[in-house]
Amino acid sequence: MFQLSEEGKEFVKKQLARYEQKESAIIPSLYRVQDENNGWVSPEAVDHLSQLMDIPTARIQEVLKFYTMFNTEPRGKYHVQVCTTLSCGMLGGRELCSTLMKEHGVHKHGEVSKDGKFSFSHVECLGSCDTAPVMQINREPYLESLTEEKALKILKDLK
Ligand code: FES
């Protein structure tokens, strides 16, 4: 059963105190849960957050399902999000994602590679269109102006 660490609970309490409306604390709290739960937010984690924040689970689920940066299924240690919107799409974002998936034996989005290291998804514009194609791994800074060769090497170098 998922429980936030003591530091995590403290973080959520601070977020609740920070905003006039406690619903505003849902996003930062979901990030914290995701960080402490191997990259995804399970139904148990939502129940835990609901009790901690005194907000109905349905309200938390709404936020969780609306934003693509939250994962509702287990992810690899490195969740690779490749932008496939206009500029990135035109400069090979989809093909790039397919190449990376193939290299790691992943057949569909959401699937985790056998070694548990990688999962992949397409995402909407990351707001860095002038450096397309762009990808992001977990919550790290964007990786920009990618080529297939560059992206394959980036993943290869991840431990
Ligand atoms: S289209 Fe990819 S960052 Fe905007």
Same domain, 52 and 86: no
pLDDT per position as a tens digit, 69-87:
899 999 999 999 999 999 9
- Domain boundary residue, one of 33, 66, 99: 66
Indicate whether 68 pLDDT > 90. Answer: no
Tell whether 14 is covered by a domain: yes
Number of domains in the chain: 2
Same domain, 97 and 133: yes
pLDDT per position as a tens digit, 114-131:
999 999 999 999 999 999
Ligand 1 geometric centre to CA of 58 (Å): 31
**Close Cβ partners of 113 (under 8 Å, ≥ 6 residues apart):** 76, 104, 105, 106, 119
Is the distance from the beta carbon of residue 129 to the nearest atom of ligand 1 less than 6 Å? Answer: yes
Tell whether 17 is covered by a domain: yes
Find the domain containing 89 and state its range: 78-156
Residue located via tokens 């985790």: 112
Ligand 1 geometric centre to CA of 74 (Å): 25
Domain harbouring 57, CATH code: 1.10.10
Is the distance from the beta carbon of residue 135 to the nearest atom of ligand 1 less than 6 Å? Answer: no
pLDDT per position as a tens digit, 32-54:
999 999 899 999 999 999 999 99
Is the distance from the beta carbon of residue 151 to the nearest atom of ligand 1 less than 6 Å? Answer: no
